[in-house]
Amino acid sequence: MIPGGLSWEDLLHPLYQKYKNHITWGDQDLLNIIFHYNPECLFTFPCLWNYRPDHCMYGSNCKEAEEEGVSILHGNRGVYHDDKQPAFRVIYDAIRDYPLEDNLFQSLFYPIQTKFLDTVNTLCGRIPQVFLKQVEKSMRQVYELKVIRHVRPHH
């Protein structure tokens, strides 16, 4: 059990001193050591809340994301900045380039849909609903809130 009242520094520093010559991933290795001995303190996110390239690059292996769409897209392996997984980069580029004052569907969603057509030759690009379902749902909610707020009579 993790001793109560310890700060992260108090916990991590002794582990770092002990394992610094044997760890590859730095802080991630130290966290893995802590949670190995304290599994009750770890919450593992379902894949749709931490969707990574390995969930689709060798074939789809996150059924929840296929059904519900991705809620958090994890850009590890440099996928937002290289061409190895273009489906991930499409989302990143669209959000990066989106003019915040514009219409969400016209300026963000429809261009993402169109750019996804260029990714169908990849395993991740063959399952666009994984990437687009939650984006569309969120945009519809924002749109509905905006419309309802502006149509409602003021008191």
C-beta contacts of 64-69 below 8 A and 24+ residues apart:
65/130, 66/127, 66/129, 66/130, 68/133, 68/134, 69/129, 69/130, 69/131, 69/132, 69/133, 69/134, 69/135, 69/136, 69/137
Domain range for 12: 8-41
Mean pLDDT for all residues in the chain: 88
Residue 154: which pLDDT band, with cuts at 50, 70 and 90? low
Same domain, 28 and 85: no
Token pair of 32 as six digits: 């893995």
Same domain, 29 and 59: no
pLDDT for the residue numbered 133 = 95
Same domain, 72 and 33: no
Query: Is residue 2, in this structure, part of any structural domain at all?
Result: no
| Per-residue pLDDT tens over the stretch 12-34 | 889 999 998 999 888 889 999 99
Q: Looking at 3-17, 37-51, 117-131, which range is the least confident one?
A: 3-17
Query: How many distinct structural domains can be found in the chain?
Result: 2
Residue 93: other Cβ atoms inside 10 A: 16
What CA dihedral angle connects 117, 123, 124 and 128, to 10 degrees?
50
β-bridge mates for residue 57, sequence order: 59
